[in-house]
Amino acid sequence: MAKQPTIERSENYGYYSDLLWCAVPLTGMAWYYYGLRPVLLMLAALVTAYLCDCALAPLHGEGYRAHEPSSECFAALIVLLMPASVSYGIVIVAVIAAVLVKEAFGG
C-alpha cells in the first residue's frame, strides 16, 4: 500500500483553529436569537473561502493543501461582524475580497 504524503501544518494552525472553535458558540447564540439565517450565512462564507483557496492554489505552484484554515477563519469573522439581515451576495463578495487581499500580501 502506498504511503500518503503528510501535510505539514503551519505554525499558526492552532491559532486559526482555536478562532474557528470560538466562532461556534457565537454562531449558536446568533441561531438562537435570529433563527437559521446566521448559520446559513456562516456556511456560505466558509464554502466561499474554501473554494477561493482551491481556486488560488495554483498561484503557489502546487495543488490545494489544507495546511492552515486562515481563510475560513477570516470568513467566519466577517460573518460574525455583519448583521443577520445582510444579503448572501454581500457576504460572498466580502469573503472573496478578503481572501484575494490575503493572497496578495503573501497568504
What's residue 5's pLDDT? 65
pLDDT higher than threshold 80 for residue 88 = yes
Domain presence at residue 47: yes
Whether 3 is in a domain gets the answer no
pTM: 0.85
The answer to whether residue 31 sits within a structural domain is yes
* pLDDT grade for 52, boundaries at 50, 70 and 90: very high
In this structure, the number of other CB atoms found within 10 A of the CB of residue 37 comes to 14
Domain range for 21: 15-60+68-104
Any domain includes 56: yes
CA gap 98, 102 in Å, rounded: 6
Percent of the chain with pLDDT over 90: 61
Residues 46 and 30: their CA atoms lie apart, in Å, by 16
Number of domains observed in the structure of the chain = 1
79 occurs within a structural domain: yes
C-alpha–C-alpha distance, residues 73 and 75, integer Å: 5
33 occurs within a structural domain: yes
pLDDT recorded at residue 85: 93
| 7 domain-assigned | no
Q: Is 4 inside a domain boundary?
A: no
